[in-house]
Every structure is written in structure tokens, then in C-alpha cells.
Chains A and B, each alone.
Chain A
Amino acid sequence: MASDSHRFRVVVTDYDYVSFDEERTVLDPIGAELVLEHARAEDELIAVGRGADALLVQYGRITARVIDALDGCRAIVRYGVGVDQVNIPAATRRGIWVCNVPDYGTDEVSDHAVTLLLASARKLVPMANSVQAGHWDVNEFKPIGRLRGRTLGVIGLGRIGSLVAHKAQAFGLRVIASDPHRSTDYFAERDVESVVLDRLLAESDFVSVNAPLTDETRHLIGERALGLMKPSAILVNTARGGLVDGAALARALREGQIAGAALDVTEQEPIPSGDPLLGLVNCVLTPHAAWYSEEASRALKTMAAEEVARILQGQPPRCPVNQVA
């Protein structure tokens, strides 16, 4: 509990939110002070972390150096699912909990992934722009194939991947998936066939990336993987930009090695102005928006603050991604 001698200091290291009403609703009753910062560089993060009892992190990279400079911090809670920007072993060594919020927006991300899939398949963005430019001719967008009977390959059949599969099945798509950490029963419950990655790439008309970014999955989709895909295939990525080698993908799209891509995440965000993925008619880009809805945003902020409150009050966290002795 907060005492007169120590008021909890909860530091938001970086954010692009417009309000913090949800956090205050949770943290005010335990007497915690909420400090809002805009630190992105390592030295800035070290500076703002001083004296913090807990960090709430959106995009800032919490490296080993940042963690080693913390004094008295007990929790690092990531606003979101992916914790790839936090050095988890370093936190564990220092006895600091690292938590994520895995379930605030699974519907939003899977809806967005299916939207990107359908939009690429039906060439929606160029079609809509052509009408605004004064054209009215669907023949400009040939060929478009029927969805029913085609194959979707989901890489990473977790919370989001499973919902992508379910929603895609409603369009008559056959779903296959690769996920080394799931059982045969788990696949069967979802009516999804388990395949190894190379077979998934070779057989799929659509590939949806829904795996976490880890050392093993970085550049999982690079030149070799793209070379296995069908020339008519479309790649959808709503997971993390680092799973895909962007330069190799841009080449594959320009040379027609695959038909299209739709990406909500890129290797560098915001996407740099000279990025080779920009300006391609067969590449749809959205600004890391898949997670967002008003409801998801409120749930995320409430759940992240609740996790901080639990740890500061000595209760076990709900969604730890490490184990602290």
C-alpha cells in the first residue's frame, strides 16, 4: 500500500494516446502518481525510469541498459500483446515482472487482418481510388479470383490467428496453419490442418502472419520463403514488421514473384519516407492500426493499469511473460 513516506510513481515512458482517464481511474485509488513522458532514445528512457515503481510502455525499447539503470522498479507492463522490445532476461535478473495485455483486442486485429486479406484479393484500394479519379471500369482490375475453395495459411495459430481462421472460414476459405507449439487436438478443434511452414507457403493463396516476433521468427518471411509462394499469392502481416524482410518483400512485389501484400506493421515505424514498400500498387499499408477500436483502447488502458496496481500491491500479476522469484 502507498504510505506517506512513499507514493507509488508509475511512469508512462512513451505514448500516442490522447487521454489517461482509464489509468487514473485504476491508479488514483491506490495513491499512485502517473507520470507521462515521451522518451524513445535509450538515454531518455534511462532518465525517465529513475525513481519509477512501475513502467507502462508503448513503443519504447526497454534494453538491458535501461533495465539495469532502474532503481526500485517492480513492473514493466507493455501496452499491447508484443513484448519483443523489452529485454526479458535482463528484467528477470533484476527481479522485475514483465507483463503484457494479450486479450484486449484480438477481435480488432483479426478483423483488420481479414479486411486486409479481402481488400487485397478484391483490389479494393486501387479500385476505390480509381472511381475518385473519374474511372468506372471493373475490367481495369482483372484478374480477381473467387475466394471460396482457396487456401489461407496462418503462421501462428494463437489467439489472433485462431480468430483469423474462424472468420476466413465464413468466406469458404480452407485454412491450414503452421504453429510448432500447438497440439493435434488444438488444430482439430479449429478445423484447421497442421502443416510445416514450407508446405504452407507453397500451398496457400493467402498467407497471414500471426506469430510473435522472437529470435527464431525474425525475417521468417525472407527471400527463400517468398520464393516458395505462388505467384498469385497474397501476404498479410498484422503481427510485427520484423517477421518479414521488407527489402526482399518489396523486390518480390515489384518482380511479380507474389501478387500482393497488405501490411499493418513494418520493420521501422513510422515507415521511413524512402521505404521500398511505399508506392507499390499491389502493397496496402496501414499505420499499425489493427489493434485499435474505442472499446479495445479503453480495455487496453484499464487492463495495463490494473496489472501495475496488482504488482504494486503485492498481488500476483495476471499476464506475466517472465517468472520472478
Chain B
Amino acid sequence: MTDYDYEHLDEIHRVLEPLGVELSEHQATTEAEVIDVARGAVALLVEYVPITEAVIGALDGLRLIVRFGVGYDNVDVAAATRHGVSVCNVPDFGSEDIADHAFLLLLAAARKLVPMANSVQAGRWDVNEFKPIFRLRGQTVGIVGLGRTGSAVAARARAFGMRAVAYHPNRPPEYFAERGATPVELDELLRTADVVSLQATLNPQTRHLIGERELGLMKPTAILVNTARGGIVDGAALARALREGQIAGAALDVVEREPIPRDEPLLGLENCLITPHGAYYTEESVRDLKTFAAEEVARLLRGESLRNPVNRIT
């Protein structure tokens, strides 16, 4: 375990102990530290630390890297493939929880909940301070990335009387129909959506997918929600758009640099709600995440096929 921010790893021990596997627990933050602590490892369980070509090349007997979560942008998958190392993620431990958080961010931003609650604590009691708020029924939510979480967001939106449109490259019309969303191109989504919800993975194609040009296409009343990865949005451009009223609001669980630095321009904006990368978290999701990740290691050691490989080793 190269790095983690959990109180305990009991679920992992429970899966690995019967196999006689030793779990070696570390808090590495750099390539050099990973190489140092992981020498001789068969498998790496990784939370945030970057697993680069240098790391993978330096670790001889390594056969598997399991990323503790959905995104695996901190792992150089191409390098792993070249070295014959499998990479797995855990895509399904908390998509419903993430969708809950994403939809909460949508609702809270639309209804200006946090500034409203803070105003009452500061001794005020006046809904007129929060004009305008618009009715959600009849609005359109535009989902960028209609995967597990995006589909779960679409289902929630429908219960609120919102229409769902989605952008997801290379998927047939049936794929969208099964998930209750209308397929659209990205620019059209940005032009027509009242809420844009980002649920895509971060990769070279999606880095800064939402930048100055894209923000310029959005409605001045629109809200941007991001529970995917900070890197999908150009944070400096977003801060400008929020300050200048080019869009109405943003609600972000992820930012480009985490932990968020003090000089982050997105801080201190009344129309920008930020939570500390907590969308995935519930007691149940964290339990499932640890169990599912450890089970991939167990499969490798028992010679079974992996459940969620993201590369193919030939």
C-alpha cells in the first residue's frame, strides 16, 4: 500500500491474510519514496501518489497496480503495459454515493444553500438577498461522460422534472436511450444546459475540456458541477467566468491542485461552492473500496482473471 488516508485497512487484511500475503503499509509521496518502499512487491495498492514509468521500471517482480478508486490518472498505464504490469481500478464502489453528492451540489448551488445558511448564522433573515433562484422543473442538465455516475445523475435529474442530455464520444444511440439521456455534441450541450455536470474520466483528451471557449458557450444563468477530476476544468478560466458573471455558479468537489492552495482563485467566491474531494465517501463506500481493491490482488495471486483491468497484457 504505497499511500492512503484511511484510519485503518482492516478489510484488506481480512481478504489477504488467508492467502498468507503480507500487506506492507506506507505513506509515500514521491517517486523515489515509492521505489524505496515497494522494492520486491508483487502488487501495489495506490491512492494518490504518481506511479510513473520510472517507478514501474524500477520495480522488478511487480505484476499488478490497483488504483484505490475510479480514476487512474496518477498511473502511467501505457508504461505499465509495456512492462507487462496489469492496472486495475475500482469503478463501482461508490458511483451512487458520488451521484448523490453531485446532485446535492447541483441543488445547493441552484438554491444558494451555503450562503443562505451562513447569512442566517450571521443574523440575517431575508430570502430577497438570494435573488434570482430559478425553478428546476423543466431545466436541462447536461452530463459530460455518461458512465456509471453520469447515468445515476441522469436518473436523479428525471425525478426532479429535469431533462437530461449527455455527451459521451463513440456510443450508439441505444446507449443513451437506455440511460434516459438525449445524445448531444459537447458545444450544443454547453449552449443548452442549465446545469453542466462533469462525470468524465481525466485523460489527455479531457484535460481542460472546459476552458475559456467552452465557458463562453454556456448560459449566463448556468451552473457547472464537477465531481470528476479538477484537471477537466481550467480553474483560472472558471474563476474569471464566475467573477465576471459569465456563468451563474459552480460547485466543485475536485480542483486542479489538491489540497486546495491558499492562492487558488476559486476560493472566496460567493457563487463557487467547494467540497474537499468527498463525493465518493460514505462509510459503506470506503468499506467496499478496500474490499474490492484487495480482492483484485487475491485474484492475481490465485491465478484468476482480474475483475476490472484497464489495460491488456499480452
Contact = CB atoms under 8 A, between A and B. Distances in A.
Q: Are A and B interaction partners?
A: yes
Interface stretch (B44-52, B236-244, B276-284, B289-297): B276-284
Contact of B96 (A131, A148, A278): A148
A25 interface: no
A293 interface: yes
16 contacts: A107-B136, A111-B107, A115-B113, A127-B275, A131-B274, A139-B7, A147-B100, A148-B96, A167-B160, A170-B156, A273-B123, A278-B121, A285-B121, A287-B124, A289-B111, A294-B135
Contacts of A69: none
A146 B121 contact: no
A319 B89 CA distance: 57
Contacts of B259: 136-137
B104 interface: yes
A128 B275 contact: yes
Interface residues of A, number: 57
Contacts of B262: 134
A129 B114 contact: yes
Interface stretch (A76-84, A118-126, A301-309): A118-126
B127 A287 contact: yes
A170 B156 CA distance: 5
A295 interface: yes
A111 B136 contact: yes
Given A111-B136, A131-B275, 6 more contacts: A128-B273, A147-B97, A171-B100, A284-B117, A286-B113, A292-B130
Given A119-B108, A124-B104, A288-B127, A108 B135 contact: yes
B274 to A, nearest CB: 5
Given A135-B276, A293-B135, A286 B117 contact: yes
Given A115-B113, A139-B5, A146-B284, A124 B134 contact: no
B111 A115 contact: yes
A16 to B, nearest CB: 6
Contacts, number: 157
Interface of B: 5, 7, 96-97, 100-101, 103-104, 107-108, 110-111, 113-114, 116-121, 123-128, 130-137, 155-156, 158-161, 258-260, 262, 267-268, 273-278, 281-285
Interface of A: 16, 18, 107-108, 111-112, 114-116, 118-119, 122, 124-125, 127-132, 134-139, 141-148, 166-167, 169-172, 269-271, 273, 278-279, 284-289, 292-296
Nearest to A128: B114
A271 B120 contact: yes
A107 B128 CA distance: 19
Contacts of A114: 107
B161 A107 contact: yes
B127 A107 contact: no
A124 B108 contact: yes
A111 B96 CA distance: 19
Contacts of A295: 134-135
Given A118-B103, A144-B283, A294-B135, A270 B113 contact: no
B276 A16 contact: no
B275 A269 contact: no
A292 to B, nearest CB: 5
A138 B274 CA distance: 12
Question: Which of A116, A124, A148, A269 has the most C-beta atoms of chain B within 10 angstroms of its own C-beta?
Answer: A124
B179 to A, nearest CB: 14
A125 B117 contact: yes
Contacts of B97: 146-147
Given A118-B104, A293-B134, A287 B125 contact: yes
Contacts of B273: 128
Contact of A16 (B120, B126, B161): B126
A120 B277 CA distance: 17
A170 B96 CA distance: 11
Given A138-B281, A170-B155, A107 B107 contact: no
A279 B121 contact: yes
Nearest to A286: B116
B148 to A, nearest CB: 14
A284 B120 CA distance: 9
B278 A138 contact: yes
A116 B116 CA distance: 12
Nearest to A296: B135
Nearest to A284: B117
Closest 3 pairs (CB-CB, A-B): A270-B125, A136-B259, A170-B159
Contact of B104 (A119, A141, A294): A119
Contacts of A129: 114, 118
B276 A137 contact: yes
A18 B111 CA distance: 19
A218 B261 CA distance: 49
Contacts of B278: 122, 127, 138, 141, 144
B281 A111 contact: no
A137 B278 CA distance: 8
Contact of A166 (B118, B126, B159): B159
Given A146-B284, A287-B119, A287-B120, A136 B136 contact: no
A188 B68 CA distance: 42
Given A138-B276, A145-B283, A294-B134, A119 B113 contact: yes
B117 to A, nearest CB: 5
